[in-house]
Amino acid sequence: MQRVAACKGCNPSARGFSRPTHRRPSRRSGAGLVAAGGLSSLASVVESQQFDRPMLEELFEVAREMERITEDGSECKILAGKVMGTLFYEPSTRTRLSFETAMCRLGGKVVSTENAREFSSVAKGETLEDTIRTLEQYVDVVVLRHFQAGSARIAADAASVPLISAGDGPGQHPTQALLDIYTIQKEIGRVDDTKVALVGDLANGRTARSLAYILSKFRNVKLYFVAPDVARINEDIKEHLTECGCEWEEVDNLQSVASEVDVLYQTRIQKERYGDRPEDYEKAQGKFIVDEDLMRLMKQDAVVMHPLPRVGEITPQVDADPRAAYFRQAKNGLYIRMALLATLLKGK
């Protein structure tokens, strides 16, 4: 890929940004979301399975360019005149703000609804499809976070502009998985030939689900699922990994694998998913903690990651350890989301 150079940081014709000029497409089916023609043909982002290895490599090349532009302080206007609408039915800090910052850094503008359950017409009974069809009259891309699994695909099927899932309940969080893989590559220099522990609320954790799907595309990866009995990974993920030939193991003791793994991916127990099962939340909460004692067991070149927010499952003392990558991980979200927005909108 040639380096982005126009507007002192951006070249609209650089590979990874170019896209055939066309009018807004007609309504499309979910099958059209898969970019058979590579990253440049990506229509919307709703699940991790859309991305194969070549697409990931191309996206990461663009993300590295976005990182260079951001660090240089270069003025970038490749999405000048474009508007992104963020529609969030659930709370968010990192995802929403990184998407909005990404659009601003690319020269675009943002309209936002932070609490769409209360501050949108859904409070009056409007369907998700009608909300999307209305919003697309004003914006060029929609970023959606919803509380129901599968909602991202429903919304993308209804939309005639690109739609990016920012998480759909306990379903998936594809852009988080993309930034997670990007972080692993940056932190330890590879994704192939790694051992990864996914820890915490794996039953409800959309980030863990999405990451497992993407990790299955790499060679010689072994996954350890470390979760309380009430929060174990769902069978569909295990079946997918088995079909892909990706080795996995369920583990009850985090200490037993801490010295083996290259990546320890911690997640919080999601209290909001246990509304009618408070007893299960109490069983799961606080069972697996990353603290200084656990860090002493880990390899010196391993990393600890977390999609955040954390609520006690990583102690503050760990923050000073150079292997604590979670805040660098959050920063990488900006570069990945810049890359996605540029890919989806440039030349459109």
Q: Which residues are catalytic?
A: 94-95, 124, 145, 173
Indicate the SS3 state at residue 323. coil
Dist CA 327 CA 20 (whole Å): 36
And the tokens for 298? 């880990």
Count CA within 13 A, CB hemisphere, residue 121: 10
Which segments within the chain are labelled E, that is strand?
83-88, 109-113, 141-146, 163-168, 195-199, 222-226, 247-251, 263-266, 303-305
In a 13 Å sphere around the CA of 199, the CA atoms on its Cβ side amount to: 28
Nearest residue to 214 via CA among 264, 239, 178, 167 = 178
Assess contact for 307 and 180: CB atoms under 8 A.
Answer: yes
Instruction: Please give the Cα distance from 85 to 97 (Å, whole number).
Output: 12
Contact by Cβ (8 Å): 106, 342: yes
Q: What is the DSSP letter of 109?
A: E
Q: Taking Cα atoms as reference points, which of 287, 299, 291 lies closest to residue 317?
A: 291
76 and 154 in contact (C-beta within 8 Å)?
no
Burial tier of 123 (Cβ tally within 10 Å: 0-12, 13-18, 19+): exposed
